[in-house]
Chain A
Amino acid sequence: AQSVAQPEDQVNVAEGNPLTVKCTYSVSGNPYLFWYVQYPNRGLQFLLKYITGDNLVKGSYGFEAEFNKSQTSFHLKKPSALVSDSALYFCAVRDEGTDSWGKFQFGAGTQVVVTP
């Protein structure tokens, strides 16, 4: 069975500092990994995904994530955070294994607070 964990409920960072949001996963096959962001009273917006290929994935709004198979992690990073990055971030995983075909598992979400 697949699972995804976001170990931090909230991340606080000062504007201009690096931002990291952690995500670890457990799958039986090859993982498909996604990051989404949710602003208050809005739907989820796609940031980036890893399917295969280069372990460093670049996405929207200056975000990137690194797929680390040995550590089963897919942490989201931004070199210099903006106040407007304050939002709820979700990691999601889809296991390539057929027993979980079509089913996505979202993490509990990490609230990012960027202070001026």
Chain B
Amino acid sequence: DSGVTQTPKHLITATGQRVTLRCSPRSGDLSVYWYQQSLDQGLQFLIQYYNGEERAKGNILERFSAQQFPDLHSELNLSSLELGDSALYFCASSVGLAELGDTQYFGPGTRLTVL
């Protein structure tokens, strides 16, 4: 158990809908990272937050947005969902900045199925 929690574990929804995925980082970690894992794209970095501020953006679609709250939990919002958005979404956290060498610890993931 990494100490990173994600809810819900599974989410089934329809095309065009909007969902929110939630992540609570390990105690004391200031950075949160979001990743998407799919069979055809592999593991893709989406976005990073550090202490409430957006730090880096990866391959995140405009339909997706995220934020990190004062208590350091983070939410990933996915809107106008398409079939291709079906994937495993992982959250990771680190004490400081992974780009400075801090290790990212991953949560168990949320499996999103868009029908």
Contacts and interface: CB of A to CB of B under 8 A. Distances in A.
Interface of A: 32, 34, 36, 42-46, 49, 51, 90, 94, 101-109
Nearest 5 Cβ contacts at the A-B interface: A102-B56, A43-B106, A106-B43, A51-B101, A44-B106
A29 to B, nearest CB: 11
Nearest to B55: A102
A102 B98 CA distance: 7
Interface string B33-60: 1010000001111001000000110100
Interface of B: 2, 4, 33, 35, 42-45, 48, 55-56, 58, 90, 92, 97-99, 101, 103-109
A83 B107 CA distance: 24
A109 B42 contact: yes
B101 A106 contact: no
A49 B42 contact: no
Nearest to B59: A103
21 contacts: A42-B108, A43-B90, A44-B43, A45-B2, A45-B106, A46-B103, A46-B105, A46-B106, A49-B103, A51-B101, A90-B43, A101-B99, A102-B55, A102-B97, A102-B98, A103-B45, A103-B58, A103-B99, A104-B45, A104-B98, A108-B42
Nearest to A90: B43
Contacts of A109: 42-43
B108 A43 contact: yes
A34 B48 CA distance: 18
B76 to A, nearest CB: 15
Contacts of A105: 45
A45 to B, nearest CB: 7
Contacts of A101: 56, 99
A109 B35 CA distance: 15
Contacts of B42: 106-109
A60 to B, nearest CB: 11
Given A32-B101, A101-B99, A103-B56, A43 B43 contact: no
